[in-house]
Amino acid sequence: MPDLLVVLIVILVVVVVWRGPKTLPRLGEALGRGVREARTEAAKAQDEIKARVSEADEPAGDDNDPHA
């Protein structure tokens, strides 16, 4: 975990030097939007999977069953 933190700090320093400190808020906003969108899409995918699993768990009603 500390290695990841060091890498993120180095990347942040490189971005500040490369893009300048004035662009950091815009970069942070774009990153936040991307993360938010990814979470939303992941939640939608989980909901769809849960819906399909619950549909598969329900017994199929066979109207042509002579023994019913």
Query: Residue 41 falls within a domain, yes or no?
Result: yes
Q: Do residues 27 and 20 touch, judged by C-beta distance below 8 A? A: no
Query: Residue 10 falls within a domain, yes or no?
Result: no
pTM comes to 0.55
What are 42's two structure tokens?
């992941």
Does 28 or 45 have the greater pLDDT score? 45
pLDDT, tens only, 24-35: 888 889 989 999
State the residue range of the domain holding 21: 16-48
Q: How many domains does the chain have?
A: 1
- Chain position carrying tokens 């490189």: 14
Query: Residue 1 falls within a domain, yes or no?
Result: no
13 backbone dihedrals φ, ψ, rounded to 5°: -65, -45
Query: Residue 60 falls within a domain, yes or no?
Result: no
Helix/strand/coil for 24: helix
Query: Residue 24 falls within a domain, yes or no?
Result: yes
